Amino acid sequence: MDRLHVEVTASNSKKFVVLKTDVPVEPQKAGNDVTGNARPKGEGEEDSNPLRRLWSYLTVKELLSSWLQSGNEQEKEQLRQKAQALAVNSHFLTPFTSIKLKKPLQLKKLEDPYGMSAATGPETVMQSLQGSNLQPGPALKKPYNPRIKVSKTSADGDPHFVVDFALNKLTVCFNIDGQPGDILRLVSDHLDSGVTVNGELIGAPAPPNGHKKQRTYFRTITILVNKPERSYLEVTPRRVILDGGDRLVLPCNQSVVVGCRGLEVSVSANANVTVTIQGTVAFVILIHLYKKPAPYQRDHLGFYISSSKGLSGNCHGLLGQFLNQDARLTGEPARPSKNATSPPLPKAGGGSETVLKVKGHQVPVVWKQRKIYNGEEQIDCWFARNATQLLDGEYKDYLAAHPFDSETTFSLGTSRGL
């Protein structure tokens, strides 16, 4: 069976939407009408007459043009109603209509484990693109297909934190043992770039014979942007909420691209969500889903910083405080090769240990390997067993009061030297 790739683009003066999907195309049987078979059957079946559909399309286009040129509010409302009625009857997407997305049949029984009702039912309705003072915006010249390189700097899994000091060719990793319900401040740059990222934890039992009493994962990632205008993005494994003046709910099992107010969001179905802010800051949120989860597993998210060029030197947070910083090792043993399976053993009688120096902190570290990005990449990193020695302040300083909290405990004078 062949598959046809389909993209539908819609835009207005505030945002654009690109819907992408692959449609199975069955071989045409002899003697059957191609036009008739290509159309859905049942309730809401659209007109199978191509000439009538063409007439409807041209009429809707003419009504929209007249609506734009009219200066009479009563006349504009009549034109809008006519265009909307004809577009709905002919299944056309216009600035006056909305589009309904249906989940694949095999996913209908899935339920959001967190009790969130938005965009979790068998059908998801995308809100109308109509806004105040609406004017149809320019169509995209080409399909929006962002190519984002995922960096090592991330918070994923239980959660495990990784920081890549690219200038020093050095990667550091550490763990944070939070409590279910805690909201961690990952990136805090509210006063300068206007960007804040918070992650809310969910709990799970620890695996049998494990050293931990429980596991924690990110159930929700919230991205707040207050420049040039305030907007926010809330991501769970099941849906994405974008509020940039008009609220938009997107299911995570459909590929779609949305943009508004310098914020562009690309959802790759059941895989990841890419967020680009003003073209200078990019985050990738990885979606982890389990078909048959073990008791200690939960559907969760991973957070990766792809580009931090637009974040300021005052940026803070569990990950943000290390961006654009220098780090170095002292007492470092021979660096293991990339193909090594274990770190080099210390020499007999050797008392030196490897110490990481960063931002005025000196922290003992050990070499280890860690898998990131859904296990697709294995990295070498220097692991800080005691994360509290590595971070500014204490754990409680990184707790947000609520998902939309953008305040920070740390002042601009926080020590940042080696």
3-state secondary structure the chain: CEEEEEEEEEECCCEEEEEEEEEEECCCCCCCCHHHHCCCCCCCCCCCCHHHHHHHHHHHHHHHHHHHHCCCHHHHHHHHHHHHHHHHHHCCCCCCCCCEEECCHHHCCCCCCCCCCCCCCCEEECCCCCCCCCCCCCCCCCCCCCCCCCCCCEEECCCEEEEEEHHHCEEEEEECCCCCCCEEEEEEECCCCCEEEEEEEEEEECCCCCCCCEEEEEEEEEEEECCCCCEEEEECCCEEEEECCCEEEEECCCEEEEEECCEEEEEECCCEEEEEECCCEEEEEEEECCCCCCCCCCCEEEEEEEEECCCCCCCECCCHHHCCCCEEEECCCCCCCCCCCCCCCCCCCCCCCCEEEECCEEEECEEEEEEECCCCEEEEEEECCCHHHHCCCCHHHHECCCCCCCCCCCCCCCCCCC
- pLDDT averaged over 10-residue windows placed end to end, the chain, 418 residues: 70 67 63 42 55 80 82 86 84 66 40 35 31 35 46 92 92 93 96 96 88 91 92 96 88 90 91 95 96 92 95 95 92 51 42 83 93 84 91 94 87 49
- To which residue do tokens 């020695």 refer? 389
Give the integer Cα–Cα distance in Å for 152 and 373.
8
pLDDT of 26: 63
Give Cβ neighbours of residue 383 (< 8 Å, ≥ 6 apart). Answer: 172, 173, 174, 365, 366, 367, 368, 370
The residue type of 292 is K
Q: What is the pLDDT of residue 101?
A: 52
Q: At what angle do helices 73-90 and 50-69 cross, to 10 degrees?
A: 160
The predicted structure's pLDDT at residue 186: 98
